[in-house]
Amino acid sequence: MDLTPLEDVQAAVLRECLPLTPRAVDLQDALGCVTSAPLEAEELVPPFDNTAMDGFAVRAVDTTDPPVELKVVSTLAAGADPTGVAVGTGEAVRIMTGAPMPPGADAVVMVERTRTEGDVAVIEHHAEPGEHVRRAGDDLKPGDVVVDAGTVLTPAHLGVLASLGYARVPVFPRPRVGVLSTGDELVEGAAELRPGQIRDSNRPTLLALVRQSRFTAVDLGLARDDEATITSAIEHGLATCDALVTSGGVSVGDFDYVKAVLDRLGSMRWWQVAIKPAKPLAFGTVEGKPVFGLPGNPVSSMVSFELFARPALRQMGGHRRTFRRQVEAVVAEPIRRRPDGKLHLARVVATMGDDGRWRVRPVAGQGSHQLAAAAAANALALVPDGDGLAEGTTVKVMVLSDDTPS
């Protein structure tokens, strides 16, 4: 079977993974979601003129020749209703941060620039009109666009929306992603291993990758290599999820029932991608939902998720930037390989030097079964076909974490 270039497969996958239908979700559930419409302010923020300081609300003209003595006529704490309170000539109101400005006052003198003697405030500062006053609408006015459509919501966005009284926001929902492991050799959790058995490591990895991307992870369990079991697991997944990720059973082995089941249920494509690891990939839609049949080898399934599933699922979640960040890095230690017509995705440790340049070193253990070695890496170097990369050359690198490594 011919090898298909990585970009062609990625493009074909993305074409079939359209954004989910937007809906309103609770503000608390919206972190990291993408807005589907622009959100406008319908209120003033702050809603009224208020003080930025603890001190005295005054008429600025009364303070032109400090020190001056002003009669304290009232006190306003944050949350106080200012109705009936006013500052006349020669008067002041004791006021706390966030409290509304009383009518008549146009400035606040911070408490540190005052003394109190009984009901008299001695003002030792010449206040300018507007000093320490936060004006109504300083931050937002009705009609201001607070968040554009297509924005990835951050904690600050949620706070701004809360300040405007938004309880729900229209977003592309997070895709619900079902994860299924397949293979007769697999054992769940800490159960004793009998001859020939290994533990299921792909499911925990893939579920975590789903969660790390802020999608909703649904554990579909472990299916034996038989058609009926795999069929019912996949059907259950399709009924409860927006997309499925399976691992195992998509290579050319004799017992690859995933292949038979998916072909029967949906319209699948079976690729041999010109990459190493993660050469085999099954992708298609079943009942209109994307299904990713990832290879079984632990490093392959992880790399395949990164290259194909994550970008497609992000697109379903409304993200415009679907791919991981790519940077150019200096090869700090040779990356060895042989020509084989494939792009190699070497597991590397990427660090940023004091000069602001990225450097990469391959981890020891580049086998597709060596998950422990891969776990030490934080990036994939895109090593072109050929004889590898010498120290000092540069390479494109896909950074797997959003945190900048130290």
Vertex 194 angle, CA 193 and 197, to 5°? 70
Closest contact distance (angstroms) between CB of 4 and ligand AMP is 18
Beta carbons within 10 angstroms of residue 208's beta carbon: 13
Which residues lie near Mg ion (CB under 5 A)? 183, 248-249, 296
Binding mask 133-172 for ligand AMP (x = CB under 6 A): ----------------------------------------
Cβ partners under 8 Å of residue 220, min gap 6: 178, 179, 180, 233, 236, 237, 244
Of the candidate spans 19-27, 87-95, 121-129, 200-208, the one that interacts with ligand AMP by CB under 6 A turns out to be 200-208
Of residues 283 through 302, those in contact with ligand AMP by CB under 6 A are 295-298
Q: Which residue has the tokens 């998950």?
A: 371
> Which among 130, 85, 80, 135 has a CA at the least distance from the CA of 108?
130
> Which among 117, 112, 63, 55 has a CA at the least distance from the CA of 90?
63
**Pairing state of beta strands 120-123 and 114-117?**
antiparallel
Tell me how many residues contact ligand AMP (CB under 6 A).
Answer: 19
Among 49, 54, 91, 200, binds ligand AMP (CB under 6 A): 200
Beta carbons within 10 angstroms of residue 136's beta carbon: 17
Minimal CB distance residue for ligand AMP: 296
Closest contact distance (angstroms) between CB of 371 and ligand AMP is 8
Closest contact distance (angstroms) between CB of 369 and Mg ion is 13
Nearer to Mg ion, 29 or 185 (CB): 185
Q: Find the DSSP H helices in 245-358.
A: 257-265, 298-304, 310-316
Of residues 238 through 267, those in contact with ligand AMP by CB under 6 A are 247-251, 253
Task: Look at residue 304 and give the partner it binds from ligand AMP, Mg ion, none, a contact being a CB closer than 5 to 8 Å depending on partner kind.
Answer: none
One DSSP character per residue, 122-145 reads EE-S-PPTTTTEEPTTSSB-TT-E
Binding mask 177-196 for ligand AMP (x = CB under 6 A): ----x-x-xx----------
Closest contact distance (angstroms) between CB of 402 and ligand AMP is 26
Task: Look at residue 200 and give the partner it binds from Mg ion, ligand AMP, none, a contact being a CB closer than 5 to 8 Å depending on partner kind.
Answer: ligand AMP
Closest contact distance (angstroms) between CB of 175 and ligand AMP is 21
Q: 161 phi and psi, to 5 degrees?
A: -65, -40
Nearer to Mg ion, 254 or 402 (CB): 254
Nearer to ligand AMP, 38 or 253 (CB): 253
Q: Is the peptide bond before 46 cis (omega within 30 degrees of 0)?
A: yes
Residues in the chain: 406
Contacts with ligand AMP by CB under 6 A lie at 181, 183, 185-186, 198, 200-203, 247-251, 253, 295-298
